[in-house]
Amino acid sequence: MAFIEIHNVTKHYSANGAGEGAAVLRDVSLAVEEGEFVLIVGPSGSGKSTLLTVLGSMNQPSRGHVLIDGVSVYDLSPERRADFRREYVGFVFQQLQLVPYLTALENATLPLSISRLSNSAQAERAHEALRRVGLETKAHRLPGALSGGEQERVAIARAIVNHPPLILGDEPTGSLDSKTGKEIMELFRELNQSGLTICMVSHNPENARYASRIIRLIDGTVVEDSRHLLRTPPLVAVNSPEFQDLDKGERV
């Protein structure tokens, strides 16, 4: 059994909440092995971000099943699903969603706030996460006193502080300059090489060099699923099929 299994997942959205509306995902089935680094690509409106939220147990599909580590996550009650998500999944989004009046350490500690760990143990865990992303010396700075790349590292520290086996990234380098973006992707690769499974949505063709697998969506359907033979393959050309029509920034 694969670490993640998606069986015949369809997702409809309706403008007024009545009826099924348009299908954003159409009968998607795929499996992700533990330790893979998967890059999800496709044109705007193809369903990439919707697929990511379905993977993250945040967005119940209209039909189909999602299993993570053998658990059918959408058969859990909302309370148990929230517990499962907190234990298994770390999220890194383009908008970061850092709390501006909390320090880097306090932002990284947030996912632990309802845990049974003592305050000192929470702080120790958050310090460890910041160390892993190279920010241990800036733990007490507010987000406004950090660069964009440093803020991204805080968001990654927050995502890994619970030691989840799965990290999901929705355009995590989308607002960064190319140099900083490469540094963040190197960090994701290091985390992947430490054993974490990573699934990431990206419009940047250069990010393909860090992934072991590329899944391409068009109109909510998987049209391409390729694995690299090497962990750090050559750059994918901008005009390659995997990255055609990736010039727009809108997301579904």
Confidence of residue 248 (pLDDT cuts 50, 70, 90): very low
Q: Is residue 251 part of a domain?
A: no
CATH of the domain at 134: 3.40.50.300
Q: Of all residues in the chain, what percent carry a pLDDT higher than 70?
A: 88
pTM over 0.75? The answer is yes
Inside any domain, residue 155: yes
Asked whether residue 174 is assigned to any structural domain, the reply reads: yes
The pLDDT tens digits of the residues spanning 87-108 come to 999 999 877 789 999 999 999 9
- The predicted model gives 139-161 an average pLDDT of 94
- Separation CA 135–CA 156 (nearest Å): 11
Question: Please, what is the average pLDDT of the chain?
Answer: 86
Q: Please tell me the predicted confidence (pLDDT) of residue 174.
A: 83
Question: Residue 94: inside a domain, yes or no?
Answer: yes
pLDDT score for 44: 87
Q: Is the model's pLDDT at 247 over the cut of 70?
A: no
Average pLDDT, integer, range 188-208:
92
Number of domains in the chain: 1
Nearest-angstrom CA–CA distance, 242 and 225: 10
Domain that holds residue 147: 4-243
The full DSSP string for the chain is --SEEEEEEEEEE-SSSSS--EEEEEEEEEEE-TT-EEEEE-STTSSHHHHHHHHTTSS--SEEEEEETTEEGGGS-HHHHHHHHHHHEEEEETT----TTS-HHHHHHGGGTTSSS-HHHHHHHHHHHHHHTT-GGGTTS-GGGS-HHHHHHHHHHHHHTT--SEEEEESTTTTS-HHHHHHHHHHHHHHHHTT-EEEEE---GGGGGG-SEEEEEETTEEEEEEE-SSSSPPPPPTTSGGGTT-------
pLDDT for 91 equals 93
pLDDT of residue 231 exceeding 50, the answer is no
Q: Is residue 97 included in any domain, yes or no? A: yes
- The residues, ordered by sequence, that sit 6+ positions from 77 with a Cβ below 8 Å of its Cβ are none
Q: What is the pLDDT of residue 36?
A: 96
Q: What is the mean pLDDT of residues 209-234?
A: 80
Tell me if 249 is assigned to some domain: no
Whether 221 is in a domain gets the answer yes
Sheet with strand 63-68: strands edge to edge? 22-32, 4-13, 63-68, 71-72
Mean pLDDT of 184-198: 94
Residue 250 lies in a domain: no
Task: Tell me the per-residue pLDDT of 27-63, one tens digit each, with 9 for 90 and over.
Answer: 999 999 999 999 999 988 899 999 999 999 999 999 9
pLDDT attached to residue 228: 66
Higher-confidence position of 32 and 21? 32
